[in-house]
Amino acid sequence: MSPSFSSHRKPRVCFIVESGTDVRLVDGMAERFDLTVLARKISDGVEISQPPSRPLKIVIGLPSRAGFARLVLSFLWTRRLDFDHVLVQGYGIAALAANLVGRLRKIPTTMLVCSPVEAYYRCRAINPVDKNRRFLRRELILLELIARVNACLGMRYVVLSQYLLEVVRGHGASKPVHIVPIYGVDTKLFHPTMESKSAIKIRCGLPVTGSIIFFSSRVAPEKDAETLLAAVRLLMDAGRELWLLHRSGGYETLIKWARIFGIEERVIATAAVHPQKGLVDDYRASDLCVQASREEGLGFSVLEAMACGVPVIAADIGGLRETVLQGSTGWRYPVGDSVSLADCIAAVIDDPVEAKRRGAEGRKMVCQRFNRDFAFSQLEDILGAINGEVSSI
């Protein structure tokens, strides 16, 4: 543990969550920190993807972003002595509030950037999934403005990928930016198995004939499920027997879209499963994993699939370019190109030797660069090193 933190207790960290977060991130921080999560209420979803398994304190704020930002201001102002560090999600209005208090009260504050917010927002104009979340030019301009103010006001960033580092540098950030791929991958849980794929399929109640494509991304404009559905339709028209397995938010919408493409009977879709209670078997049962994204900060689904030795296909965009390496750890295709995606899927199915080779290369890369324990140790060291710097601001 960093000497900047007291060795007699866990560092006290306040994690501010504006747009929902993953339980793997929360549990990982709760292992190492005395963690308080201050989260905006998600009216049509959940603040944390699954119930945390570690002890922590959770405070749920108002659903409006402006109201939540006001809560962040008052919460940190009155409890400034309760925390050694504030970690705030993203670079939106909640981050603006946290950075402001951090400056005025000299609380070490770091922005954790997991996604390119403006790029995700632009995808609404291309593919509006939810009519209540329309693309509005003025909202995009406001997002860009807040990002730039945070770049000036903020103390430091932690980002998941080189791509996201370039995103925040594009805002004008001159402050330190650390690349830490938290929450990483638990390679002790996600690993290949000696059990045959057929046996896993039978045990999990999945089809034993044909090929299973795993698509775990939530249904959202930036995740581009339509291109994958179109590719599956093309391959089925060519006589392929395929199944699409989906375990994530918005699965009802995916089923509706599959009906439009005429492949509803080939989609197995449910709500998200707990990542430590079944997700690994879904990967192992699948013949390949596809991350079809129009924008992506890093992409953990393909990393978990790689850790299990499963071949992966990803769109040629963002952080996916850093992990899915054509000819080495997987296959890439041009964003939105269903024909090219169909060709990649066929290549994986038709050449199991090459698929196994790239799956093994992917596993090796994940173990070397994206191991969960190493990622959280990096975060702990960074927060500890920062802790003694704010007094000089």
pLDDT digit string, tens, across residues 214-263? 998 888 999 999 999 999 999 999 999 999 999 987 899 999 999 999 99
Percent of the chain with pLDDT over 90: 87
Q: Which residue has the tokens 């945390």?
A: 52
Q: How far is it, in rounded angstroms, from Cα 52 to Cα 23?
A: 6
Q: Which two tokens stand for residue 324?
A: 């899915």
Our measurement of the distance from residue 285's CA atom to the centroid of its chain's CA atoms, rounded to an integer in Å, reads: 22
Question: 3-state DSSP call for residue 298?
Answer: coil
Question: 3-state DSSP call for residue 126?
Answer: helix
**Residue 222 near residue 295, CB atoms below 8 Å:** yes
pLDDT digits (tens, 9 = 90+) for 258-292: 999 999 999 999 988 888 888 999 999 999 999 99
Write phi, then psi, for 109 (nearest 5 degrees): -135, 130
Q: Which two tokens stand for residue 24?
A: 């793997």
Confidence of residue 391 (pLDDT cuts 50, 70, 90): very low
**Residue 25 near residue 48, CB atoms below 8 Å:** no
DSSP string, 16-78: EESS-B-HHHHHHHHHHSEEEEEEE--TTS-SBSS--SS--EEEEE-SSHHHHHHHHHHHHHH
Measure Cα distances from 345 to 249, 307, 340 in Å: 24, 19, 9
Which structural domains are found in the chain, ordered by start? 12-184+372-392 (3.40.50.2000), 197-369 (3.40.50.2000)
Q: What confidence score (pLDDT) does residue 2 get? A: 43
pLDDT digits (tens, 9 = 90+) for 7-61: 568 899 999 999 999 999 999 999 999 999 999 999 888 999 999 999 999 999 9
Q: What confidence score (pLDDT) does residue 11 get? A: 93
Q: What confidence score (pLDDT) does residue 217 get? A: 87
